[in-house]
Amino acid sequence: MNRSLPVSDDPAREQLLADLLTELSERRRRGESADVEQLARAHPDLAQELRQLWAAVQVAQAFGSPRPPQPTDRRPSPSPRTQPGLSLGELPTTEIRSDPVAAPANGSLPRRFGDYELLEQIGRGGMGVVYKARQISLDRFVAIKMLRHGGESSDADLQRFRNEAEAAARLDHPNIVPVYEVGEAEGQLYFTMKHVEGTTLAALLDEHPLAARDAAQMMATIARAIHFAHQNNILHRDLKPSNILLQGNSGSRSGEANPGENLAWYPMVADFGLAKRVEGGESLTATGAIVGTPSYMPPEQASGSRGTPSPASDVYSLGAILYELLTGRPPFRAASTVDTLLLVLDQEPVEPRRLNPQVDRALELICLKCLQKQPDLRYPSTAALAEDLEKFLAGERPSVWSGTLLDVIGNLLRETHHAPVLENWGMLWMWHSLKIFLLCALTNWMYWQGVRSHLSYLLLWSVGLSAWAFIFWTLRRRGGPVLFIERQIAHVWAAGVSASIMMFVVEWLLAPRVEVLALSPILALLAGMVFTVKAGMLSGAFYLAAGAMYLTAIPMALFPQVGILLFGLVSAICFFVPGWIYHRRRSQRDRARVEKYRG
């Protein structure tokens, strides 16, 4: 089971990619041509990765993320090195050197490293390497983690390493891998943890899927552990199966009731490398860089415009793990990082029961509630998630089944996760409102002047709508990358335009039995249908616009002398108001971004 996308292990290569991406971003910021193909030709060995990463930059910018992602988990941030007497907030920054040197601990094993004897390498990632070691002074086995590239690691890697040590050291919970010591030896930062004899959840899933009740028990246990971290103001931000260590279970280790004590494996959460303090301080993602593992990453981590990481972000990641436990695959996985991020931001997961019909409906609902795109639609805490999982295990009705009529109506009128794309359409919708009103006013004026030629109205609406559609779409494409959801919206709108033109064709074919504009109330019904579809795709507020258009068809039929003008007025309002709202939203976000850069 392929769980992650490969990244380069060469820090010099990663640094060069980061420099090239920065150069492209700076060119675009200055209004110059950002030609990725030119750089790809100059660096043919990096061409494919450069194109994919630059595409990810454009995707992030299209969703409102202010800065491009880096080629790995590295994030630009001042990085402290350990010095005696300095707290984490007071440590100075250090200079990045471009000539990578292997960490001092790399070499033949076993070997001595400070107070430890390194026995074997048991883990390796993009940033760190983990060894099984024996602490000589205490004669115990531990896991010791250090940066792969030693003193030549980037500032961002050093900051992440220290974050992990600090975060884990603050957490004393039976289902969180404890940190024993943080120190430095041979010029190499390290920290030691409990050595967990067993496997990882990722490795276990490679062997066989878990039964539904086992999956629920395990996730309830993990959710309780993450809730403890949240109570201590720590967000994990990189929960995934490979960061869940499994030790052979011999009952509860804390003397307290534990929902996972009947499992064959005892789960322990590890790797707080992306952990973030909630109570203050700048996040490593403050620059807009995309961090984490895409398949388990919530939308607000993938794009700055979707909000900031919160406890609901870890709820999402736990839901993604539960989804994989139930189906054998993560909710979103594609051939490239860019495609996976697009799925995370833009698509809904396949319902677990479609992939595994044996999944209980209640457990499926719990999982899908965790994976909601909007954080406020998820569980308010991982404790609430654990409670529902425990209710499922006890045969009780989980809270996800409940919901009052007001809850249903409130959810119906909410914005969907696609709503932010309307910021790209705000100004265009305001111009569209003017166009539709002028077209209807001209049509009504012609009717008052005694024009009774069906062909005249057919030509007016055919040319007017077609020309405006071409102008509208051309202007939108000039505004930046067109997202998949925008193409869907455009198809719905195009269907409405085509149906409107065909109404005039039908009138022409039925002449003289049908007078001009006799079928015009159908225009309001067509517009209502278009707004209904938009309500389901973008925001429930469009149900109000749809209702207004449906009701407009009645006075149009009763008062044909002003019917088409009334249609134009109501249509203009229904487009102008949301256009103005989303245009203001876009302008405020752009101003905030400029002020942030200047600051």
Q: What is the largest CA-CA distance in the chain?
A: 103
Domain boundary among 402, 431, 459: 402
Residues 297 and 384 both lie in one domain: yes
Residue 3 belongs to some domain of the structure = no
Q: What is the mean pLDDT of residues 143-156?
A: 70
Residues 351 and 259 both lie in one domain: yes
Question: pLDDT at residue 171 above 60?
Answer: yes
CB 122 within 8 A of CB 143: yes
pLDDT per residue over 200-258, tens digit each? 899 888 887 788 899 999 999 999 999 999 998 888 888 999 889 998 765 444 444 45
Told to judge if 9 belongs to the known catalytic residues of this protein, a careful annotator would answer: no
Domain boundary among 369, 402, 435: 402
Residues 452 and 521 both lie in one domain: yes
CATH number of the structural domain spanning residue 81: 3.30.200.20
Dihedral angle sign, alpha carbons of residues 444, 448, 453, 459: negative
CATH number of the structural domain spanning residue 272: 1.10.510.10
pLDDT, residue 257, reads 43
Residues 205 and 145 both lie in one domain: no
Q: What is the mean pLDDT of residues 188-193?
A: 84
pLDDT, residue 84, reads 29
Question: pLDDT at residue 555 above 90?
Answer: yes
Residue 38 belongs to some domain of the structure = yes
Residue 413 belongs to some domain of the structure = no
pLDDT, residue 37, reads 78
pLDDT per residue over 482-515, tens digit each? 777 888 888 999 999 999 999 999 999 998 899 9
Closest of 418, 436, 450, 448 to residue 533, by C-alpha: 418
Residue 71 belongs to some domain of the structure = no
Residues 191 and 208 both lie in one domain: no
Residues 40 and 181 both lie in one domain: no
Residue 359 belongs to some domain of the structure = yes
- One DSSP character per residue, 67-100 reads SPPPSSS------B---TT--TTTPPB----SS-
Which of 73, 155, 157, 238 is the catalytic position? 238
d(CA 12, CA 23): 16
* Mean model confidence pLDDT for the chain: 78
Please state the domain count of the chain.
4
How many of the other CB atoms lie within 10 Å of CB of 199? 16
Residues 48 and 147 both lie in one domain: no
CB 15 within 8 A of CB 154: yes
Two structure tokens written together for 356: 């595994």
Question: pLDDT at residue 131 above 80?
Answer: yes
Residues 159 and 295 both lie in one domain: no
pLDDT, residue 302, reads 77
Domain boundary among 376, 402, 428: 402
Residues 316 and 213 both lie in one domain: yes
Q: Which residue range forms the structural domain that includes residue 154? A: 76-195
Is residue 341 packed enough to be buried (19+ CB in 10 Å), middle (13-18) or exposed (0-12)?
buried
- One DSSP character per residue, 416-485 reads -TTGGGGGGTHHHHHHHHHHHHHHHHHHHHHHHTT---HHHHHHHHHHHHHHHHHHHHHHHHHTSPPPHH
H or E element in which residue 357 lies:
none
CB 269 within 8 A of CB 239: yes
pLDDT per residue over 369-411, tens digit each? 999 988 888 999 999 999 999 999 988 888 887 666 666 676 6
Residue 314 belongs to some domain of the structure = yes
Residues 434 and 570 both lie in one domain: yes
Residue 367 belongs to some domain of the structure = yes
Residues 244 and 378 both lie in one domain: yes
Residue 89 belongs to some domain of the structure = yes
Two structure tokens written together for 142: 């531990």
Which of these ranges, 50-64, 311-325, 555-569, has the smallest mean pLDDT? 50-64
Q: What are phi and psi of 495, to 5 degrees?
A: -65, -40
Residues 295 and 431 both lie in one domain: no
